[in-house]
Amino acid sequence: MNLELKLIINLSYYHVADDVPETDSEIAVVIDVLRATTTISWALKNGADSIQVFSDLDLLKDTASNWDDDKRIMLAERGGKTMNGFDLGNSPLSVTKEIVEGKRLFMSTTNGTKSLKKVQNVEYLFAMSLPNRKSVAERIMSLNKENVLILGSGWEGSYSLEDSLAAGALASYIIENSNSYVDISNDELQASLALWNVWKNNILECLKTATHGKRLTSLGDYEDDFKCCSQLDCLDIVPAQLERGVIRAS
Protein backbone atom coordinates (compact mmCIF):
# COMPACT_ATOMS: atom_id res chain seq x y z
CA MET A 1 0.00 0.00 0.00
CA ASN A 2 1.35 3.48 -0.88
CA LEU A 3 1.24 5.52 2.33
CA GLU A 4 2.99 8.54 0.88
CA LEU A 5 1.28 11.69 2.17
CA LYS A 6 0.46 14.22 -0.49
CA LEU A 7 0.11 17.93 0.19
CA ILE A 8 -3.18 19.48 -0.79
CA ILE A 9 -3.67 22.76 -2.63
CA ASN A 10 -7.20 24.14 -2.39
CA LEU A 11 -7.86 26.54 -5.23
CA SER A 12 -10.89 28.81 -5.30
CA TYR A 13 -11.90 31.64 -7.60
CA TYR A 14 -14.07 34.71 -7.06
CA HIS A 15 -15.19 36.87 -9.94
CA VAL A 16 -15.06 40.25 -8.22
CA ALA A 17 -13.82 41.83 -5.00
CA ASP A 18 -17.28 42.06 -3.43
CA ASP A 19 -17.71 38.25 -3.68
CA VAL A 20 -14.66 37.45 -1.55
CA PRO A 21 -15.58 35.93 1.82
CA GLU A 22 -13.53 36.26 5.03
CA THR A 23 -10.50 34.24 4.06
CA ASP A 24 -7.73 32.31 5.76
CA SER A 25 -5.95 31.74 2.44
CA GLU A 26 -2.21 32.12 2.66
CA ILE A 27 -1.96 33.14 -1.01
CA ALA A 28 -4.10 35.50 -3.09
CA VAL A 29 -3.68 35.97 -6.83
CA VAL A 30 -5.36 38.97 -8.45
CA ILE A 31 -6.15 38.90 -12.16
CA ASP A 32 -7.16 41.75 -14.44
CA VAL A 33 -6.31 40.54 -17.93
CA LEU A 34 -7.74 43.68 -19.61
CA ARG A 35 -5.59 45.34 -18.46
CA ALA A 36 -4.35 46.29 -14.99
CA THR A 37 -2.36 43.19 -14.06
CA THR A 38 -0.94 42.93 -17.59
CA THR A 39 0.21 46.55 -17.29
CA ILE A 40 1.70 45.86 -13.83
CA SER A 41 3.57 42.78 -15.11
CA TRP A 42 5.03 44.63 -18.09
CA ALA A 43 5.93 47.72 -16.06
CA LEU A 44 7.95 45.56 -13.66
CA LYS A 45 9.51 43.64 -16.54
CA ASN A 46 10.57 46.99 -18.00
CA GLY A 47 12.31 48.00 -14.79
CA ALA A 48 9.73 49.96 -12.80
CA ASP A 49 10.85 50.09 -9.18
CA SER A 50 7.37 49.48 -7.76
CA ILE A 51 3.66 50.04 -8.22
CA GLN A 52 1.53 51.57 -5.50
CA VAL A 53 -2.20 51.04 -5.97
CA PHE A 54 -5.01 53.40 -5.00
CA SER A 55 -8.79 53.52 -5.17
CA ASP A 56 -8.92 57.24 -4.51
CA LEU A 57 -7.44 59.57 -7.11
CA ASP A 58 -6.86 62.50 -4.73
CA LEU A 59 -4.97 60.28 -2.33
CA LEU A 60 -2.93 58.99 -5.27
CA LYS A 61 -1.97 62.54 -6.26
CA ASP A 62 -1.16 63.56 -2.66
CA THR A 63 1.03 60.51 -2.10
CA ALA A 64 2.79 60.93 -5.44
CA SER A 65 3.50 64.59 -4.73
CA ASN A 66 5.85 63.51 -1.91
CA TRP A 67 8.10 61.79 -4.47
CA ASP A 68 10.72 63.41 -6.71
CA ASP A 69 9.26 64.42 -10.03
CA ASP A 70 11.71 62.29 -11.99
CA LYS A 71 11.04 59.20 -9.86
CA ARG A 72 7.27 58.98 -10.22
CA ILE A 73 4.65 58.23 -12.85
CA MET A 74 0.93 58.64 -12.19
CA LEU A 75 -1.41 56.23 -14.03
CA ALA A 76 -5.17 56.49 -13.90
CA GLU A 77 -7.91 54.85 -15.93
CA ARG A 78 -11.69 55.04 -15.62
CA GLY A 79 -14.06 53.37 -18.05
CA GLY A 80 -11.12 52.24 -20.17
CA LYS A 81 -9.94 55.84 -20.76
CA THR A 82 -6.92 57.74 -19.45
CA MET A 83 -7.86 60.34 -16.84
CA ASN A 84 -6.95 63.98 -17.42
CA GLY A 85 -4.10 65.23 -15.26
CA PHE A 86 -2.26 61.89 -15.13
CA ASP A 87 0.88 60.79 -16.97
CA LEU A 88 -0.47 57.53 -18.37
CA GLY A 89 -3.59 55.42 -18.69
CA ASN A 90 -3.64 51.69 -18.24
CA SER A 91 -2.04 50.15 -21.27
CA PRO A 92 0.75 47.56 -21.04
CA LEU A 93 2.17 49.18 -24.19
CA SER A 94 2.62 52.54 -22.50
CA VAL A 95 4.87 51.31 -19.67
CA THR A 96 8.03 51.14 -21.77
CA LYS A 97 11.52 50.89 -20.30
CA GLU A 98 12.23 54.49 -21.32
CA ILE A 99 9.24 55.72 -19.33
CA VAL A 100 9.14 53.51 -16.22
CA GLU A 101 12.67 52.31 -15.47
CA GLY A 102 13.63 53.02 -11.84
CA LYS A 103 10.33 54.76 -11.10
CA ARG A 104 7.44 54.22 -8.74
CA LEU A 105 4.11 54.00 -10.54
CA PHE A 106 1.13 55.43 -8.65
CA MET A 107 -1.82 53.60 -10.17
CA SER A 108 -5.59 53.57 -10.01
CA THR A 109 -7.91 51.68 -12.38
CA THR A 110 -11.64 51.03 -12.51
CA ASN A 111 -11.57 47.47 -11.19
CA GLY A 112 -8.10 45.92 -10.99
CA THR A 113 -6.72 48.07 -8.21
CA LYS A 114 -9.93 47.51 -6.20
CA SER A 115 -9.29 43.75 -6.26
CA LEU A 116 -5.66 44.24 -5.24
CA LYS A 117 -6.76 46.30 -2.26
CA LYS A 118 -9.43 43.80 -1.27
CA VAL A 119 -6.92 41.03 -0.51
CA GLN A 120 -4.00 43.15 0.68
CA ASN A 121 -4.00 41.47 4.10
CA VAL A 122 -3.29 38.02 2.68
CA GLU A 123 0.24 36.83 3.49
CA TYR A 124 1.35 36.36 -0.13
CA LEU A 125 -0.34 38.56 -2.74
CA PHE A 126 0.54 38.22 -6.42
CA ALA A 127 -0.72 40.00 -9.55
CA MET A 128 -1.16 37.68 -12.52
CA SER A 129 -1.85 38.19 -16.19
CA LEU A 130 -1.71 35.68 -19.03
CA PRO A 131 1.91 36.60 -19.96
CA ASN A 132 3.17 35.67 -16.48
CA ARG A 133 0.77 32.81 -15.73
CA LYS A 134 3.50 30.16 -15.62
CA SER A 135 5.83 32.23 -13.42
CA VAL A 136 3.08 32.94 -10.90
CA ALA A 137 1.94 29.30 -10.91
CA GLU A 138 5.49 28.06 -10.30
CA ARG A 139 5.86 30.51 -7.39
CA ILE A 140 2.59 29.34 -5.86
CA MET A 141 3.66 25.70 -6.10
CA SER A 142 7.07 26.45 -4.59
CA LEU A 143 5.48 27.98 -1.48
CA ASN A 144 3.75 24.72 -0.46
CA LYS A 145 0.73 26.49 1.01
CA GLU A 146 -2.67 24.90 1.30
CA ASN A 147 -5.19 27.60 0.38
CA VAL A 148 -4.97 29.77 -2.70
CA LEU A 149 -7.61 32.35 -3.47
CA ILE A 150 -7.79 33.62 -7.04
CA LEU A 151 -9.63 36.90 -7.53
CA GLY A 152 -10.74 38.42 -10.80
CA SER A 153 -11.54 42.08 -11.28
CA GLY A 154 -14.65 41.96 -13.45
CA TRP A 155 -16.31 45.17 -14.46
CA GLU A 156 -17.96 47.37 -11.81
CA GLY A 157 -19.06 44.39 -9.75
CA SER A 158 -19.99 42.01 -12.52
CA TYR A 159 -18.42 38.95 -14.13
CA SER A 160 -15.73 39.16 -16.77
CA LEU A 161 -14.95 36.44 -19.29
CA GLU A 162 -11.26 37.20 -19.66
CA ASP A 163 -10.41 37.09 -15.94
CA SER A 164 -12.24 33.77 -15.61
CA LEU A 165 -10.31 32.46 -18.60
CA ALA A 166 -7.03 33.34 -16.87
CA ALA A 167 -8.19 31.80 -13.57
CA GLY A 168 -8.84 28.59 -15.50
CA ALA A 169 -5.41 28.88 -17.16
CA LEU A 170 -3.73 29.16 -13.76
CA ALA A 171 -5.66 26.25 -12.26
CA SER A 172 -4.97 24.12 -15.31
CA TYR A 173 -1.21 24.75 -15.06
CA ILE A 174 -1.18 23.86 -11.36
CA ILE A 175 -3.22 20.69 -11.91
CA GLU A 176 -0.82 19.57 -14.65
CA ASN A 177 2.41 20.43 -12.87
CA SER A 178 1.95 20.18 -9.12
CA ASN A 179 2.98 17.18 -7.06
CA SER A 180 0.24 18.05 -4.60
CA TYR A 181 -3.35 16.93 -4.71
CA VAL A 182 -5.23 19.89 -6.23
CA ASP A 183 -8.75 20.50 -5.01
CA ILE A 184 -10.89 22.80 -7.15
CA SER A 185 -12.85 24.22 -4.25
CA ASN A 186 -15.69 26.13 -5.86
CA ASP A 187 -17.95 26.08 -8.90
CA GLU A 188 -16.59 29.39 -10.15
CA LEU A 189 -13.21 27.75 -10.69
CA GLN A 190 -14.71 24.60 -12.23
CA ALA A 191 -16.47 26.84 -14.73
CA SER A 192 -13.24 28.74 -15.39
CA LEU A 193 -11.41 25.51 -16.16
CA ALA A 194 -14.14 24.60 -18.64
CA LEU A 195 -13.81 28.06 -20.19
CA TRP A 196 -10.04 27.63 -20.50
CA ASN A 197 -10.51 24.30 -22.24
CA VAL A 198 -12.83 25.90 -24.79
CA TRP A 199 -10.73 28.99 -25.55
CA LYS A 200 -7.11 28.04 -24.78
CA ASN A 201 -6.15 27.87 -28.44
CA ASN A 202 -7.85 31.13 -29.27
CA ILE A 203 -7.13 33.48 -26.38
CA LEU A 204 -7.08 36.62 -28.53
CA GLU A 205 -10.59 35.90 -29.81
CA CYS A 206 -11.84 35.31 -26.27
CA LEU A 207 -10.51 38.70 -25.13
CA LYS A 208 -12.17 40.47 -28.05
CA THR A 209 -15.45 38.63 -27.43
CA ALA A 210 -15.54 39.70 -23.77
CA THR A 211 -17.69 42.71 -22.87
CA HIS A 212 -14.68 44.74 -21.79
CA GLY A 213 -12.91 43.75 -25.01
CA LYS A 214 -15.89 45.15 -26.92
CA ARG A 215 -15.82 48.27 -24.75
CA LEU A 216 -12.16 48.87 -25.60
CA THR A 217 -12.83 48.23 -29.30
CA SER A 218 -15.56 50.86 -29.21
CA LEU A 219 -13.10 53.37 -27.73
CA GLY A 220 -10.41 53.07 -30.40
CA ASP A 221 -7.75 50.84 -31.91
CA TYR A 222 -6.68 48.47 -29.13
CA GLU A 223 -5.43 45.69 -31.39
CA ASP A 224 -1.90 45.80 -29.94
CA ASP A 225 -3.25 45.84 -26.37
CA PHE A 226 -5.29 42.72 -27.15
CA LYS A 227 -2.25 40.99 -28.64
CA CYS A 228 -0.10 41.88 -25.64
CA CYS A 229 -2.74 40.86 -23.07
CA SER A 230 -3.40 37.53 -24.81
CA GLN A 231 0.23 36.31 -24.84
CA LEU A 232 0.78 33.29 -22.62
CA ASP A 233 3.77 32.42 -20.42
CA CYS A 234 6.25 34.86 -21.95
CA LEU A 235 7.13 36.92 -18.84
CA ASP A 236 9.26 35.67 -15.97
CA ILE A 237 8.08 38.40 -13.59
CA VAL A 238 6.14 37.62 -10.40
CA PRO A 239 4.57 40.87 -9.16
CA ALA A 240 4.23 40.55 -5.39
CA GLN A 241 2.98 42.83 -2.63
CA LEU A 242 6.12 43.23 -0.50
CA GLU A 243 4.76 46.08 1.61
CA ARG A 244 1.11 46.98 2.03
CA GLY A 245 -0.30 48.42 -1.21
CA VAL A 246 3.07 48.30 -2.99
CA ILE A 247 3.89 45.73 -5.64
CA ARG A 248 7.40 44.85 -6.77
CA ALA A 249 9.03 42.24 -8.97
CA SER A 250 9.97 39.18 -6.95
Q: How far apart are CA 157 and CA 77, in angstroms?
A: 16
Count, residues in the chain: 250
The residue count for binding ligand MLT (CB under 6 A) is 12
| Sequence-distant (≥ 6) Cβ neighbours of residue 14 within 8 angstroms | 20, 149, 150, 151, 152, 188
Interface residue with ligand MLT among 12, 77, 133, 147 (CB under 6 A) is 77
Q: Does 184 bind ligand MLT (CB under 6 A)?
A: no
Residues 103-122, interacting with ligand MLT (CB under 6 A): 109-112
Q: Does 94 bind ligand MLT (CB under 6 A)?
A: no
Give 79 or 102: the residue with its C-beta nearer to ligand MLT: 79
**Window of 31-39, 47-55, 231-239, 241-249 that interacts with ligand MLT by CB under 6 A:** 31-39
Q: Does 80 bind ligand MLT (CB under 6 A)?
A: yes
By rule CB under 6 A, what string of x and - marks binding of each residue 35-64 to ligand MLT? xx----------------------------
Interface residue with ligand MLT among 41, 129, 153, 164 (CB under 6 A) is 153
Q: Does 188 bind ligand MLT (CB under 6 A)?
A: no
**Window of 34-42, 120-128, 133-141, 232-240 that interacts with ligand MLT by CB under 6 A:** 34-42
Q: Does 34 bind ligand MLT (CB under 6 A)?
A: yes
Give 17 or 137: the residue with its C-beta nearer to ligand MLT: 17
Give 169 or 216: the residue with its C-beta nearer to ligand MLT: 216
Binding site for ligand MLT (CB under 6 A): 32, 34-36, 77, 80, 90, 109-112, 153
